[in-house]
């Protein structure tokens, strides 16, 4: 009996020992994702949080987000980028171009995923879409200004003078600005209108700019999605409405707040695809091995209510082409 009891005891210990060892093993460390963005509202319905959740990455369980907001601090971009990188994230993500560039200038080792990398090859962010090289990959967007202006002229046929309102705080490289200016001039030459550039450096500049544009009777304004413009979107939309100026932009959110027309890549699609890159890299892929994906989904939104308020007629052929019409 003593022998059987001893054998039973040894057997129990043999079973309990690996279980105890397993229970004492440390948990896998959470992956840290660093985000440089306009805002840091990472609620469960956020596009980034939702898509990563679908891919199996749950905040607080397998990943943790570390977001640095640029609101009111665009002139401090290099410092903000260094601050984020100093926390040693496993991966970085940002968009648009200006924020991506700020991160790229501070690290060549931590993987960076572009949310909406504007013309990354022409702007010098990567060497090619197929072989980006280095630590940067993600989703690339095109400069669609010529197409936007072509669409706008169908609604404003007498288009002769357009105010291009840039948000210059924290602006990227001179090379990127030169690319934009060249493409803008191509559009102006083809459609027989002239540009005048207005640079907003601080939020209060928009009031002065729009007052001047209205007084000089410009035929339309174009507002690119630069960080400063995006951060002041609500105020810009109010000024467009107050001064009754036809306005064009990139994302449908601008049309929903009063702009006449928007045409551009589908923002939600771009974020979802970028998070697919995040998933692959966190699971071991190298950024240099992941070709950059060129966005191919575009959304044309027309605010018919705004057109009526401005006394403009939208051609039926254009309404048929629109993905969304706001009435």
Residue 7 banded pLDDT, cuts 50, 70, 90 = very low
Instruction: Give the tens place of pLDDT for each residue, 69-84.
Output: 998 888 899 999 999 9
For position 172, what pLDDT does the model report? 56
In a domain, 277, yes or no: yes
Mean pLDDT of 281-305: 95
For position 58, what pLDDT does the model report? 94
Mean pLDDT of 228-240: 95
Number of structural domains (the chain) is 2
Residue 325 banded pLDDT, cuts 50, 70, 90 = very high
| β strands within 76-211, DSSP E | 91-94, 112-118, 136-141, 161-167, 194-200
Instruction: Give the tens place of pLDDT for each residue, 204-220.
Output: 999 999 999 999 999 99
In a domain, 13, yes or no: no
The dihedral built from the CA positions of residue 174, 175, 177 and 182, taken in this order, carries a sign that is positive
In a domain, 4, yes or no: no
* 253 and 276 together in one domain: no
Q: With 90 as the cut, is the pLDDT of residue 16 above it?
A: no
* 310 and 321 together in one domain: yes
In a domain, 3, yes or no: no
Q: What percent of the chain has pLDDT over 70?
A: 89
**Which pair of tokens denotes residue 61?**
């369980």
Q: How far apart are CA 145 and CA 251, in angstroms?
A: 12
77: CATH: 3.40.50.2300
The dihedral built from the CA positions of residue 217, 225, 104 and 124, taken in this order, carries a sign that is negative
In a domain, 1, yes or no: no
Residue 226 banded pLDDT, cuts 50, 70, 90 = confident
* 115 and 133 together in one domain: yes
Q: How far apart are CA 273 and CA 295, in angstroms?
A: 9
Strand partners, 180: none
**Domain carrying residue 280:** 31-141+266-294
- What is the DSSP secondary-structure string of 115-145? EEEESTTTTTS-S-SS---TTEEEEEE---H
* 320 and 187 together in one domain: yes
Poorest-pLDDT segment among 170-179, 228-237, 255-264, 315-324: 170-179
* 204 and 63 together in one domain: no
Q: With 50 as the cut, is the pLDDT of residue 21 above it?
A: no
């Amino acid at each position: 009996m003593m022998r059987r009891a001893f054998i039973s005891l040894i057997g129990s210990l043999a079973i309990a020992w690996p279980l105890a060892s397993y229970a004492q093993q440390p948990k896998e460390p959470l992956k840290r994702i660093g985000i440089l963005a306009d805002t840091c509202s990472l609620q469960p319905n956020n596009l980034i949080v939702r898509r990563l959740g679908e891919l199996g990455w749950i905040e607080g369980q397998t990943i943790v987000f570390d977001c640095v907001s640029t609101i009111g601090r665009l002139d401090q971009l290099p410092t903000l980028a260094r601050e984020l990188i100093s926390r040693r994230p496993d991966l970085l993500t940002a968009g648009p171009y200006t924020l991506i560039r700020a991160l790229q200038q501070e690290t060549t080792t931590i993987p960076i995923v572009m949310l909406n990398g504007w013309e990354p090859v022409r702007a010098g962010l990567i060497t090619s879409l197929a072989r980006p090289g280095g630590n940067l990959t993600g989703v690339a967007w095109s400069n669609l200004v010529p197409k936007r202006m072509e669409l706008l002229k169908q609604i404003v046929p007498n288009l002769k003078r357009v105010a291009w309102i840039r948000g210059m705080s924290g602006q990227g490289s001179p090379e990127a600005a030169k690319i934009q200016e060249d493409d803008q001039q191509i559009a102006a030459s083809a459609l027989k209108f002239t540009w005048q550039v207005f640079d907003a450096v601080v939020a209060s500049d928009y009031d002065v700019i729009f007052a001047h544009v209205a007084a000089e009777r410009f035929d339309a304004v174009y507002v690119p999605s630069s960080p400063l413009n995006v951060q002041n979107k609500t105020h810009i939309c109010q000024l467009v409405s107050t001064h009754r100026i036809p306005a064009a932009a990139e994302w449908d959110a601008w049309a929903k707040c009063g702009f006449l027309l928007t045409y551009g890549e589908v923002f939600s699609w771009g974020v979802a695809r970028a998070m697919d890159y995040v998933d692959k890299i966190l699971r071991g892929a190298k950024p240099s091995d992941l070709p950059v994906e060129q966005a191919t989904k575009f959304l044309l939104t027309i605010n018919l209510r705004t057109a009526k308020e401005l006394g403009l007629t939208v051609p039926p052929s254009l309404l048929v082409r629109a993905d969304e019409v706001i009435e």
